[in-house]
Chain A
Amino acid sequence: MMAKVKVRIPAPLQKVTQNKQEVVAEAGNIKELIADLDKQFSGMKDRLLDESGKIRRFINFYVNDEDIRFLKQDETALSEGDEVSIIPAIAGGK
């Protein structure tokens, strides 16, 4: 089942989305969402996944307010209207 979801893009990835901080994707789960984002915004996949195809350890995906690492990782299902947030570690403070 494909679902239309809102995806919040963090500042360090907005270069890839032409400065959009919110985009829409259609996907049944997170893996498909990443594929759809990559189709819309070329290069997205390489930034989100490591060489082995796993989500990078300093980037988290949330469906609504839940971290997918504690759900079904990239198999976590999406429903119509869900909000997905991509949240990387950020270190600035100075």
Chain B
Amino acid sequence: MAFTNEQIDRYSRQIILPNVGGKGQEKILKAKVLVIGTGGLGAPCNFYLAAAGVGTIGIVDSDNVELNNLQRQILHTTESVGTPKVASGKARLKALNPDVNVVTHHLRLDSSNILDIIKEYDIVVDGSDNFPTRYLVNDACVIAKKPLVHAGIFRYDGQIMTIVPGVGPCYRCLFPEPPPPGAVPSCQEGGILGAVAGVLGVLQANEVLKFILGAGQLLAGRMLIFNALDSTFRTVKVPKDKDCPVCSDHPTITKLIDYQEFCSLKSKNDCSIK
């Protein structure tokens, strides 16, 4: 692949890195990454992927930009309030790096559309904000054998792990079933510091770039836990569950499930485990 002078200049600081070089940059430019959600996690993740020159970035979001998003969803601007997040996201990413082909998916993922969407991509990033989507994405990625970078945030806590189907554990090896409706906060009503979302979203981008480059150790088989108040990172082991309902040799879940949405505004004021 021949780089333009502009590309050599733009990516020079990473091309000189061990593990990258011209070959690595070529891999990045040819990579196709799907980022689900353009919110607290998806926004910073998208920015770094686009900046690094990821060739195709698919962005999925059904929402419009709201003013209260801007405290953390740095992909969007004050002017973009009221417009679809995928449009606003695409405009910002193209402005940052015109090399990137940004594909917008202005929809809500469900069991009927997710497999068709993820099949076009090399790796998936989950930056969604609710359990039904997270379990849907995990199960779809296991079924389609797509690597998945999962992260979740709540208040000052963050969790991230990378799922490589067929090799390491999946999200259901860690948490076999979603909590029953109303049992656990699954939404932003608990509050979030923008920088916490930023830390986790950037870690997701870092996992994606390592995956593309084949460099270092992915967070597979382990989960990294961030606590913003202590400024600590801890890692716990995540073994593959031989009885996992979706990724074991004898799965009990063989088709996708549309769990009911259980984060409603009604539960706004109570975000603790009940």
Contact = CB atoms under 8 A, between A and B. Distances in A.
Greatest chain B CB density within 10 A among A59, A60, A67 is at A67
Contact of B129 (A14, A67, A91): A91
B24 interface: no
B251 interface: no
A47 B274 contact: yes
Interface residues of A, number: 29
A57 B273 CA distance: 13
A39 interface: no
A58 B183 contact: yes
Contacts of B163: none
A72 interface: no
Interface residues of B, dominant DSSP: loop
Interface string B31-54: 000000101111000000000000
A94 B42 CA distance: 8
Interface string B243-274: 00000000000000000000100000001111
A93 B38 CA distance: 9
Contacts of B153: 90, 92-93
B177 interface: yes
Contact-size category for B: 35 or more
Nearest to A69: B241
A92 B230 CA distance: 20
A88 B272 CA distance: 11
Contacts, number: 124
A65 B184 contact: no
Interface in A64-89: 65-67, 69-70, 85, 87-89
A87 B223 CA distance: 11
B151 interface: yes
B236 interface: yes
B130 interface: yes
A10 B272 CA distance: 10
A11 B39 contact: no
B157 A93 contact: no
Interface of A: 10-16, 21, 47, 56-60, 62, 65-67, 69-70, 85, 87-94
